[in-house]
Structure 1
Amino acid sequence: MRGAGKLTRLAGALLALVLILLTSCAQIPRSGPVGKSTDESAGKPNNAPVFFPVAPRAGAGPEAMIEDFYLAGSGYEDDYAVARQYLTQASSVKWKPDQRVLVFRSARVVRTAVENVFNYELDLAYSVDADGIATPLPEGSKESIPATLTKVDGEWRIAEIPDGTAIPEQTFKVIYGAYPIYFYDPTFTYAVPDMRWFIKKKTVKAMTSALLGGPAPYLKGAVVSAFPSGMKLARESVPVVSGAAQVDLTAKELVDASNEDRLRMQTQLALTFRSQPDVINVELRANQDLVRVEDDGSVLPPVRDKDVPAHQIAVSNNDLVRYENNKLGPLPDIQSVRALAPRMPAESPVSQAAAFLNAGRTTLYSILPGQPARALTTRAGLSRPSFDRYDWVWTAGPGSNGATEVLAYHPAGTAPGANVPAVTMTPPWLAGRSIKEFRVSREGTRALVISELNGKTSVQITGIIRNGDGTPRDLTAPITLLSARAPDRGVWVNDTTVAVMKSSANDNVTPELLSLTSGAPQQLAPWPGLTALSAGNGPTEIYGQSTEGIFQRLGNGWSPQLKGAIDPAFPG
C-alpha cells in the first residue's frame, strides 16, 4: 500500500465531513397544541455534524476497501448504511458498529500470511466502549483489526470484521462529544459526574441508556443510582416533545417505585440532560403512559460541583496558620505545634480538625480544638493528608511488610487518650507502587492518586467504597489520566478536573490541568521553583508556592500573593 494513496483517500474522506447548520428553534410555547417530536435530535448543537461517506469504488483493491470501510464508519446516519455496503450481505447483518470505537492517530493496512486476510494496524488515541466510556491511550499504543475479504460479483467485499468502528482522531473530536451523566453519592446529597462520549446527534437516547446501565467500572460501589438494576427503556427512543424528554421505562419497576424514588430518577435525568439545550424538563412514562411525580419537598436536589471554603491552611514560622484574604492568622482554637515541625497540613471541610506531617514525612498527626496533637501513624514516605466530607483523614505509605497501604483515620469526636478509628486498605492495583499524592474529591466518592512504579508515574482516579456510616472500606480499580510529564503533586480543581505538576525547587515547573472530559492535558504557564500546589473553586483559584512566596494563577501567568508561608491547602 502506498502512503500517498492512503493520505489522499483520508483527506478526501475528511473533506466530506460537512457541518450542516440547523435552523434555530423558536421559543417553545408554554400553551397551545403539542409541538414537534424528535427522537434523536434533542440537544444537538446548531453545528451538529453529518458525515457523508464514499460508497465502494468499482475496481478498488482489498487494502483500499478496508481503509474506505473504516472511513465510511464515521457516517452514522441510517444505521451506518454506507459502511454496510462494503460488507458481504451476511457480514452486514452481523456487524454491530456501536459496540466500540477505536480512535486512531494513524493507520495502515498490512497483508498477513493468510490469503485474503489483512490487518488494519492502528496507533490508538482512545478506545470508547458501547456505553461511551473512553480510555485515553499514550502514543505508541497499537492494535490490529483483522479483516477477511472475498469477491462478490467481481468486487472485493469484507466477509469478516470485528464489531465496532475505527475513525481518525480529528474526525472523532468533531462527531463525538464528552458529556457527563450523573449519579449520586451514597447519601443522595451530591451529584457525581460520570463522563461519557456520545455521537453529538444521538445524545439523549445514549445518555438515558448509559444511565440505566449504571456507573463506569471505577465508580461502581462508590456511587448510587435512583434507577433500580434491571430497569430498561420500554422503547428504543427518547422523544423530546415541546422541550419535555419523554423517558418511557419498563412499567413494573417504575410503578412500584415510591414517589421519592421517582423524584430522584427524574432529578438524575434532569441533571444528565443539562447539556442538552432542547430539553427543558423530564417526563417519566410507563409504556407511554405519563407517571405523575409529586415534588412535595421531601427530596432536595443534589449539590453539583461542591465548593470548598475560601480559606487555606498553611505553615508559617514553623507553625500552622490560616491563609485568607491574602493574610495570615492563627487557626481558631488550635494549639501551637511548632515543636513538631509541621509540614503539608490539611484541614477538614466539615469540622475544625486538622492534620499534618512532620518534616521527614514519617509521622502523621491530627489536632482538634482544645486538644494537643496526637500521632496517628509512623512510617516512611507518607503522602500529604487529605480530609473527606465524612471527616476521615487519608494518607498512604508502606506497611510493615513493605506493601503499599492507604490509611484513613477519624480523629474528630474522639476523646483524648481514646483510640482513633482507623481503616487500612491494600488495593491490589497499588501493589509495588510508591504513592506521591492521595487527594479525596470534594463530594467524597473519588480520590486522585499519583503513584510511581519502576520509575513510571501514573495519574489515576479511583472510587471510594464505604460502609453505610461513611467508613471507608475499599478502593475501586482506577481510570488513568494522561499527563505530559511525571507529576508528583496534584489537587482537585472541580468535579471533573485536577491540576498536577512535577515539583522542583530549581527548575521551571509547568502545571497541567487534566480533565475527565478530554485526553489532552492543558498546560499552564511555567513558573520557576514551584514545590506546592493548591486549588479552590475552579481553574482561576489555583495557587503555587516557591521559595519566593505564594502565587495565584492569573490568565496565562502567575501573580504574587504572599511571602512567609509554605504548603498551602484548601480544606479537604
Structure 2
Amino acid sequence: MGADRGRRYGLGRRRRSTSPVVLLGTLGLLLSGCGSVPDSGEVEPVKASPAGESQVRVYAVPPREKAEPDEIVNGFLEAMTSDDPDFAMARKYLTKSASDYWEPGAGTTVLRTAPDPAGPKEPASGQGPGLTYPLYGDRIADVDASHVYHPAEPATYNQAIHLVQQTVADGKKEWRIDSLPQGLVLGDSDFQRNYRSVNKYYFASGQNSLVADPVYIRQRIDPTTRMDPVTQAVKVLLDGPTNWLKPVVESAFPQGTGLEKDTRTLEFDDRNALKVPLNGKAAKAGRTQCRKMAAQLLFTLRDLTATPVGQVELLADGSSLCVLSGEQAEEFAADRGTGRGDDPYYVDELGRLALLRAGNEEPGSPTPVAGPLGDGTVKLGAVGVARDERRAAGVTGDGKSLYVSSILSDSEPGDPLVSSHGTGPEDRLTAPSWDGRGDLWVADRNPDEPRLLRFAGGKGTPQTVTVEGLDGARIEGLRVSADGVRIALQLSKDGRTMLQIGRVERHADATDPVVSVAELQSAAPQMETVTAMSWAGPSRLVVVGKEAGGVQQVRYIQTDGSTSASGVLPGVNQVTAIAAGDDENQPLVADSQDAGIVRLPSGANWQTMVETGSSPVYPG
C-alpha cells in the first residue's frame, strides 16, 4: 500500500559538522501523516540525515556573517532537505536573481547519497568572476513536478553551483550562490525522510473498479503550497491521473474541480470522518457521480491514516453533495474477493492443484481441488486460479498445453485452450494469470512464434496481444493486476531478466475489444536478474532477484520503481516462485528449492508448509 505508512520521530545521532543547519528529534507516533513541530529533544548540528534515520527533522538556519564559500554551498544543500516555508532559509544563500530563478517545486533529483560538492574550481570558465563547485553523485531517480517517481539505472550526476561575492549592508561583501540546478537535489535517505508514496485512485475506463496511481507527496507540510499531507493527497487526486495511466482510466470529478480557495488543512474528526470543500465545478455532479468521487477520495486517503477512514462528505460552495462511508466504498474495489478464506494454492508432488492453509497458525494438510486439475487427470507444472475461485488454469508439466476447468465440481478436462510448439519446457507456456475482469493471460515462449495471449472470459479462441517496445526481449513470466489495466512482465534479453510494467489498452468494440500492451516502464532498474514476482496490493509487487554482483533477495517494489529500506524481506534460499495476496495481512508464500513451499507470516521468519511442490499462487 505504498511506501512506509506512519513514521516516528527519533533522537538523532551526534555528528560533527560546520554547516548551519540544525536537527531536532522527539519520540511520537505519526498517525495521520501530518507532522507537528517537536517541542523537546536535543538540538545538534548535522551534515545530512544518516541513512535509515528517516525519523529526524532538519531545520534550516541562515548563513552566518562572513561565511566561507564551503559553508555557503554546504548550508544551501542541507537547507534543501528541510521543511522551511517556501525554502526561505535556503534562499538566503542565493542572490536575488538566483532566488527568483530557483523553483523548488520544479522537480526533485534523487541521488544514492547526499550530493558531494567537489571544489572549488577557479576561475569559473564562461561564468565571470567567482567560484564553481561541481556537484557529483549517483543519480537513481527523478520526481517530476506532477509528483511522479521515475527510477533510473544508476548514472553519474554532474551539475554545478556557482558563487559570487555581492555587496550587502554597510558595503560588506558576502559569498552567495548565483547559479544552481533547478528543483531539489537530495540524497535517497533525505528523500525518504521528506516524502512518502501515496496511491491516488481513478476508475478503469468504462468500469466501476478503482485503479491505483502512485505519486509522492511531502511527509509533513509542503514548503511550497503550505498544505498538510491530507490536503496534498486530495489536490494531487483532483489534478488528474499521471500521464502514463491517463489513457486507461477516468475520473468521476467534473472538469475543473478543485479544492475551495485557500484550503491548506483538512482534518479528520473523532470518528475519522472528513469533510472536503470543493469549488463550484463539483456542484455539477449528480448523486451517483458524487458517490464515485467520494470513493476515489476514500481510497486515496487510506494511505494516510492508521485507522480506517470512517466516511467522506463532499461539499461544494458550502453545501453538502454526498456522504460515503468506508464500507460503502468497497463496492468500487478492483478485487472484492469471494468471501472465502483467500488461501493460496500450489501444485503438489503428484502434479495436482491443491489448497494450502497458509493463514492458519498451524497449517493443515493441503487439499486437492475438485475436477481434472485436482484429481491427477492433468499433470500440472504451473497454475493460475481465477479470482472468483470457481475455475483454474493449468499448464501441463512439460509446458506444452493450457487447460481451464472448474475446481468446485468434477468434470472432464476437455481440449486444451492452446498448445505450444516449442522444443522444450523453457520454450513453451509461462504460468497463467487471471485479471479482475475474468480474462486469462499466458505467454508462449516458442522462439519461432513468441506471443502474449488473452482468453476473454477464460475461454474460447485466444487473442494475440501486441506488446509495444519489446525490442527483441522475450516474455518469461507475467502477472496481471486485479483491475486489469496493468501487467507485470519478466523480460529476458542479452542474459538479463528485467521486470517491466505495461499499460493494458482496450480499443474499439467493448464486447470484443482489441487489446494491446503499451509504454513499458522499468519497475526494478537496479536489479540485474528478476527470478519471480507477484502483485502484492494495488501498486506494489514482491520481487525475487539480485543486483549485479549481489545475492538473491526478496523485496517489495512499487510499480513506479521506487523502493525503501523497509521493503527488503528476510532471506530464503533458491526461490523460484513467489505469491502474495491483495490483502497485506496474508502471508507471502514461496517455492524454495532448499525448504519446499514456505510461508512468511507477519513478524516471523519463513516456515516450511510442505516439503515438496511448486507454483504457489493466490487467486489471480
Pick aligned residue for 1:396 from 443, 450, 470: 443
**Per the alignment, do residues 271 and 540 of structure 1 end up closer, same or farther by CA in structure 2, a change over 3 Å counting?**
closer
Pick aligned residue for 2:390 from 346, 352, 362: 352
- Output the amino acid matched with 1:486: T
Gapped regions of structure 1 (runs ≥ 5): 1-7, 26-40
Asked whether the equivalents of residues 335 and 372 of structure 1 are also in contact (C-alpha less than 8 Å), the reply is no
Deviation at 1:489, TM superposition (A): 1.1
Report the counterpart of residue 236 of structure 2 in structure 1. 210
Deviates more, 1:274-283 or 1:90-99: 274-283
Secondary structure of residue in 2 paired with 1:211:
helix
**Per the alignment, do residues 459 and 323 of structure 1 end up closer, same or farther by CA in structure 2, a change over 3 Å counting?**
same
Asked whether the equivalents of residues 549 and 564 of structure 1 are also in contact (C-alpha less than 8 Å), the reply is yes
Deviation at 1:62, TM superposition (A): 4.4
Instruction: State whether structure 2 residue 190 is matched by structure 1 residue 166.
Output: no
Deviation at 1:357, TM superposition (A): 2.6
Deviation at 1:176, TM superposition (A): 2.4
Deviation at 1:340, TM superposition (A): 6.1
Q: Matches of 2:545 and 2:28 in 1, distance apart?
A: 45
Instruction: State whether structure 2 residue 613 is matched by structure 1 residue 568.
Output: no
Instruction: State whether structure 2 residue 478 is matched by structure 1 residue 442.
Output: no
Pick aligned residue for 2:414 from 365, 368, 372: 372
Deviation at 1:56, TM superposition (A): 2.4
Deviation per residue, 1:513-549 (Å, 9 max, x gap):
3346734474434444443323344365222234664
Deviates more, 1:292-301 or 1:219-228: 292-301
Instruction: State whether structure 2 residue 436 is matched by structure 1 residue 386.
Output: no
With normalisation by structure 1, the TM-score equals 0.80
Asked whether the equivalents of residues 385 and 394 of structure 1 are also in contact (C-alpha less than 8 Å), the reply is yes
Q: Matches of 1:152 and 1:529 in 2, distance apart?
A: 62
**Per the alignment, do residues 344 and 277 of structure 1 end up closer, same or farther by CA in structure 2, a change over 3 Å counting?**
closer
Counterparts of 1:290-439 in structure 2, within 5 Å, are 290-293=319-322, 301-303=331-333, 307=337, 310-316=342-348, 318-325=350-357, 326-334=364-372, 341-350=379-388, 352-367=390-405, 369-378=411-420, 379=422, 380-398=427-445, 405-410=451-456, 412=458, 414=459, 419-428=460-469, 430-439=470-479
Counterparts of 1:235-274 in structure 2, within 5 Å, are 235-240=261-266, 243=269, 247-251=276-280, 253-274=281-302
Instruction: State whether structure 2 residue 144 is matched by structure 1 residue 129.
Output: yes
Deviation per residue, 1:67-90 (Å, 9 max, x gap):
322211223322111111122212
**Per the alignment, do residues 231 and 24 of structure 1 end up closer, same or farther by CA in structure 2, a change over 3 Å counting?**
closer
Asked whether the equivalents of residues 406 and 424 of structure 1 are also in contact (C-alpha less than 8 Å), the reply is yes
**Per the alignment, do residues 93 and 277 of structure 1 end up closer, same or farther by CA in structure 2, a change over 3 Å counting?**
farther
Report the counterpart of residue 18 of structure 1 in structure 2. 24
Report the counterpart of residue 580 of structure 2 in structure 1. 535
Secondary structure of residue in 1 paired with 2:321:
coil
Gapped regions of structure 2 (runs ≥ 5): 1-13, 39-54, 168-172, 222-227, 358-363
Deviation per residue, 1:418-474 (Å, 9 max, x gap):
x5242422221x222232321112333332222233233322333333354595443
Counterparts of 1:387-536 in structure 2, within 5 Å, are 387-398=434-445, 405-410=451-456, 412=458, 414=459, 419-428=460-469, 430-466=470-506, 468=510, 472-481=515-524, 486-502=529-545, 510-515=553-558, 518-520=563-565, 522-536=567-581
**Per the alignment, do residues 65 and 562 of structure 1 end up closer, same or farther by CA in structure 2, a change over 3 Å counting?**
same
Q: Matches of 1:10 and 1:126 in 2, distance apart?
A: 29
Asked whether the equivalents of residues 343 and 567 of structure 1 are also in contact (C-alpha less than 8 Å), the reply is yes
Asked whether the equivalents of residues 349 and 388 of structure 1 are also in contact (C-alpha less than 8 Å), the reply is yes
Secondary structure of residue in 1 paired with 2:85:
helix
RMSD, aligned α-carbons: 3.9
Deviation per residue, 1:17-46 (Å, 9 max, x gap):
223679999xxxxxxxxxxxxxxx983368
Report the counterpart of residue 9 of structure 2 in structure 1. none
Instruction: State whether structure 2 residue 180 is matched by structure 1 residue 194.
Output: no
Q: Matches of 1:470 and 1:282 in 2, distance apart?
A: 37
Secondary structure of residue in 2 paired with 1:310:
coil
Report the counterpart of residue 196 of structure 2 in structure 1. 177
Deviation per residue, 1:308-367 (Å, 9 max, x gap):
763444334654322244434443233689676431121212363332333443544444
Secondary structure of residue in 2 paired with 1:407:
strand
Asked whether the equivalents of residues 194 and 215 of structure 1 are also in contact (C-alpha less than 8 Å), the reply is no
Asked whether the equivalents of residues 456 and 486 of structure 1 are also in contact (C-alpha less than 8 Å), the reply is yes
Q: Matches of 2:312 and 2:376 in 1, distance apart?
A: 57
Instruction: State whether structure 2 residue 126 is matched by structure 1 residue 114.
Output: yes
* Identity over aligned pairs, percent: 20
Deviation at 1:171, TM superposition (A): 2.8
Secondary structure of residue in 2 paired with 1:83:
helix
- Output the amino acid matched with 2:80: G
Asked whether the equivalents of residues 534 and 568 of structure 1 are also in contact (C-alpha less than 8 Å), the reply is yes
Secondary structure of residue in 1 paired with 2:137:
strand
Q: Matches of 1:411 and 1:272 in 2, distance apart?
A: 30
- Output the amino acid matched with 2:199: P
Secondary structure of residue in 1 paired with 2:236:
helix
**Per the alignment, do residues 544 and 141 of structure 1 end up closer, same or farther by CA in structure 2, a change over 3 Å counting?**
same
- Output the amino acid matched with 2:126: V
Pick aligned residue for 1:553 from 595, 600, 614: 600
**Per the alignment, do residues 73 and 9 of structure 1 end up closer, same or farther by CA in structure 2, a change over 3 Å counting?**
farther
**Per the alignment, do residues 327 and 223 of structure 1 end up closer, same or farther by CA in structure 2, a change over 3 Å counting?**
farther
Asked whether the equivalents of residues 433 and 441 of structure 2 are also in contact (C-alpha less than 8 Å), the reply is yes
Secondary structure of residue in 2 paired with 1:159:
strand
With normalisation by structure 2, the TM-score equals 0.74
Report the counterpart of residue 90 of structure 2 in structure 1. 83
**Per the alignment, do residues 317 and 453 of structure 1 end up closer, same or farther by CA in structure 2, a change over 3 Å counting?**
closer
Asked whether the equivalents of residues 219 and 462 of structure 1 are also in contact (C-alpha less than 8 Å), the reply is no
Report the counterpart of residue 38 of structure 1 in structure 2. none
